[in-house]
Amino acid sequence: MSVLRKTSRRLADGREILYFDDTPGAHERTAVDPRDLPEVTAASEIRRDPLTGEWVAMAAHRQTRTYKPPADLCPLCPSSPGVPSEVPESDYDVVVFENRFPSFAQRVDGTQEATVDGAGITPSAPGRGRCEVVCFTSDHTGSFGRLSPERMRTVVDVWADRTAALSRLDGVRQVFPFENRGEEIGVTLSHPHGQIYGYPFVTPRTERMLATAEAYRDRHGSHVLGDVLAAERASGERVVAEGEHWTAFVPPAARWPVQVQVVPHRQVADLTELTGAERDDFAHVYRQVLGRCDGLYGKPLPYVAGWYQAPRGTDRDLSWLHLELLSVLRSADKLKYLAGSESGMAVWINDATPEQIAGRLRVAGEPGDDGRPTG
């Protein structure tokens, strides 16, 4: 693994941009952002639903965010003469910067918790946190699955670096690195990129998983995901890819038409605890998963992929880091819509069994040297 060089700079409006260079001899990052940008204002607020106890974010300023620009005006590509972008340099390896249209931010109005209309029913608070954009490559036509294993490892290191940094920020309770890919998912910038959210609360899904893990441990004396992992490895029926330190499998109660969990064989709370060997092996296993996903329908699969990590400073013994990938594409030309049962009652109905999903992925093809499926 090459030495990773990290450089911090500022964009024209004061936002931080971080360059992570793994290319030997990469030039020093000194370019200045020439744009005349107004200061970022984030009117982020969170409100707690009094019926469910779940926090909901209000970020009306995001209505004006960039929407499907032409490729020659992509804000995530390196800057070129006469076409400045969010990245002032003419090239980069991996770059991270503060989102100009954040759902959560450190600089938000208000400091105190309150209730909506002062009625004492619906709690509200400033949406204090941080949202970052992670550009995986300067190649506008690339994809995460086509990165080299070495570059994938770099991205894992970047995720770990940002998990540690965001966890130290005022108000951040949980860090969530994720990637949205494909217009079917709702992506409005096609350049290969992901995001990292520093939430000002523990997310509802995480709260539910922690409560389940605690109840399971009290009853069985072990971690539920550890036991699920052991059962999946023993069966093999839903396993999609496996390495020395990670196994990827379709969960036995999969909700989505395509759903894969990538789980380390050792319990760790978050990305910062992974060893170098575990980070290398993740890149190897995940590259296989993405290659099979793109081979499933013979075209790039739209997906959401995100990391489940421990909340900041709590419940680390109940957490087991893992990545989950899901797709709304149920056939080459059909989407799964979240209709009445899913949207209204959160009761999922899958059109395929987990065993069928895993079987289709296993025969979908291994990725070649360029990350494209070979089958």
Q: Cα-flanking dihedrals φ and ψ of residue 330, to 5°? A: -95, -10
Delineate the domains of the chain, giving CATH numbers in brackets: 5-201 (3.30.428.10), 205-362 (3.30.428.10)
SS3 track for 27-89: CCCCCCCCCCCCCCCCCCEEEECCCCCCEEEECHHHHHCCCCCCHHHCCCCECECCECCCECC
For residue 63, the model assigns a pLDDT of 61
pLDDT for the residue numbered 32: 96
Q: 């770990």: which residue's tokens?
A: 160
More confident of the two residues 86 and 73: 86
- When pLDDT is averaged across residues 67-71 and rounded to a whole number, the result is 72
3 state SS of 240: strand
What pLDDT, in 10s, does the model give residues 333-362? Answer: 999 999 899 999 999 999 999 999 999 999
Give the pLDDT of residue 191: 95
CA dist 134 to 94, 196, 220, 233, Å?
7, 7, 40, 32
pLDDT at res. 369: 61
Choose among 172, 194, 221, 202: nearest CA to 325. 194
> Residues 136-162: pLDDT tens digits?
999 999 999 999 999 999 999 999 999
Q: In this predicted model, what pLDDT tens digit does every residue of 276-335 receive, in sequence order?
A: 999 999 999 999 999 999 999 999 999 999 999 999 999 999 999 999 999 999 999 999
Is the confidence at residue 125, as pLDDT, over 80?
yes
| For residue 62, pLDDT beyond 80 | no
Give the model's pLDDT for residue 221: 98
Q: What is the pTM of this model?
A: 0.94
Task: Find all residues with CB under 8 Å of 259, minimum gap 6, and list them.
Answer: 250, 251, 324, 325, 326, 327, 354, 357
Determine whether 193 is an active site residue. yes
Say which of 191, 193, 245, 322 is annotated catalytic: 193
User: Sorting pLDDT into bands at 50, 70 and 90, what band is 371?
Assistant: low
Binned at pLDDT 50, 70 and 90, residue 372 comes out as low
d(CA 300, CA 317): 37
Average pLDDT taken over every residue of the chain = 93
Of 111-120, 126-135, 184-193, 227-236, give the lowest mean pLDDT range.
111-120
Q: What Å distances lie between residue 258 and 46, 228, 253, 315, CA to CA?
A: 31, 19, 12, 29
Nearest to 105 by CA among 24, 46, 193: 46
* pLDDT at residue 295, as a whole number: 96
Task: Report CA-CA distances (Å) from 339 to 146, 186, 304, 336, 351.
Answer: 34, 17, 19, 9, 13
* CA pair distance 291, 158, nearest whole angstrom: 22
Largest CA distance in the chain: 64
